[in-house]
Structure 1
Amino acid sequence: MRSLVLAVVWLTLVVYIVLGGVIFHFIEESTESDTKTNAFDGFKNFLSNYSCISHEELELFIKNVIQAYDQGVLVTYNTSSESNWDIASSIFFAITVVTTIGYGHIAPSTDSGRTFFVFYAFVGIPLCMVALGFLGEKLQLPLKKLQKRVLWRDRPRYDSYIKSVIYVTLGFSILILLPALVFWIVEDWSYTDSLYYVVVTLTTVGFGDFVPGANEKNFRAVYKLVVCVWIMIGLAWVALLISEVGDVMRGKVSKLINKHNSNAKELSDKEQNMELQPPSAASI
């Protein structure tokens, strides 16, 4: 039975992944095609307007721009992006390493930096997981205090459910909805983009299409350090929430297995009792 349940769980996961991939395909592919078409039309229009430039020279120029952009550098004739390796930005990068978020907007480009990264990540990631575990225990204290209070004496199961909902709602509001509002104001993103960034970060998916502090200049260092603190607290809470959900799912699966084993045992005991019983006089 356990092997059967395990197979069902994995099959469900595979179906879920494939279904998600198909949905993303139908949502995103048309936009990607339009972007390619617009980029190609812009390429042709530029060459037609500036015939003194060959397409080889333009391609080389674009590749150089892309290479710089991949290293987090955006430079025009009059402007230049802020440094990605000042102290605050480097600490922010270190946070994305040890938390395995890995935005990908910047990365070490030197052999020394990449070598240091290897050792830094292998030590920092487990250390961060241990620290987040202790922080998660602290974040559980409000829930434990809330669980000690009795809200509905007549319905204990309903009481426990409501307390969990209150805890999750408060955490979701403080660590997800409120930070998204802050990013919406500070970064000038839409609230949907801000909420998307928050979830991408706290689930450690880390696409890197949105990164805070790229345009902020006046309080950039302080702002990035505050974001680092939010990331650590938010990660601990989300990890705690995911762990609780996982425990509930595992509990449901365990109950299903135990129920099946109990029913199978009862059926087996009945069959054995029937075999041991002597034949009745009527049957003789």
Structure 2
Amino acid sequence: MSPSSTAGQIFCVFFALFGIPLNMVVLNRVGKYMLVIERNISDFLEGKTRRRTCTRFFVHLVSYLSGAALFFIVPMVVFQLHEGWTYSQAIYYCFITLSTIGFGDFVADSNPDKAYPEWYSILMASWIFFGLAWLALLINHSIDILERLNSHLKNWWGGRKQEEEAGGAGGDNPDTQVEEEDEIKRPPIAQ
């Protein structure tokens, strides 16, 4: 389905300019809400076990596996039963749809020769919405992990830099003296 008239195409462009960012905001909020639930569970379990790293890893693992089951494995079985697709076609459709690539080579609930139950379209829309939100959760979680890693690397690298500066402060290291002399002799960069 696509707009065929000029007015419809123009409307589609303006609708997308506002609709896509709004959709991303909503999906991001739902993903962050899922992340808050995951963190609350993790904090609760940390209080019970007193093993922070192990508990967080376990909660993240369960979150990923349950999301994979809920948004890939279960829908894959449903698509095999209702669409008549093979295992590989169903998993391909799940990934292509939830990653928003959407080539359109497989479209669920669109075979005119099949009579789909009424709940099927609602289930499809819910699966896509919450599956996209789950991917937003994964993206938010990945950002969180990368920010923590960046912080740890800065602390580690900053500590090493301070050790190197403290070690070379006496001026007895000839390598340091050569580097300092090279820096003085370098011409300024023309802008």
1:108-127 equivalences in 2 (<5 Å):
108-127=3-22
SS at match of 1:215: coil
Percent identity, aligned pairs only? Answer: 31
Q: Pick one of 144, 149, 157 that aligns with 2:53.
A: 157
Greater relative contact order structure (CA < 8 Å, 6+ sep): 2
Q: Identify the residue that residue 74 of structure 1 maps to in structure 2.
A: none
Which residue of 111, 116, 141 corresponds with 1:215?
A: 111
Q: Deviations over 1:27-79 (max 9, x none)?
A: xxxxxxxxxxxxxxxxxxxxxxxxxxxxxxxxxxxxxxxxxxxxxxxxxxxxx
- Which AA in structure 2 matches 1:189? W
TM-score (norm: length of structure 1): 0.54
CA contact (8 A) 1:171 1:237 kept: yes
The answer on 1:239 being equivalent to 2:136 is yes
Change (3 A) 1:155 1:144: closer
Structure 1 residues 222, 117: CA separation in 2 closer, same or farther (over 3 Å shift)?
farther
Pick closer, same or farther for the CA change 1:154–1:137 going to 2, 3 Å: closer
**One of 148, 151, 155 as aligned partner of 1:251:** 148
- Deviates most, 254-263 or 172-181: 254-263
* Alignment counterpart, residue 139 of structure 1, candidates 28, 31, 34: 34
Question: How do 1:48-197 residues align onto structure 2 when only pairs under 5 Å count?
Answer: 106-147=1-42, 148-150=44-46, 153=49, 155-197=51-93
1:188 CA displacement: 0.5
Question: How many correspondences in the alignment?
Answer: 170
Flag the 1:245–1:206 CA change in 2: closer, same or farther, 3 A. Answer: same
Please, which runs of 5 or more residues in structure 1 have no aligned partner?
1-105, 277-284
Cα distance between partner residues in 2 of 1:109 and 1:251: 49
CA RMSD of aligned residues (A): 2.4
Flag the 1:122–1:221 CA change in 2: closer, same or farther, 3 A: farther
The verdict on how the C-alpha distance between 1:248 and 1:138 changes in structure 2, with shifts beyond 3 A counting, is: closer
Q: Which amino acid aligns with 1:271?
A: G
- Distance change (3 Å), C-alpha of 1:138 and 1:258: closer
Aligned: 1:230 with 2:140: no
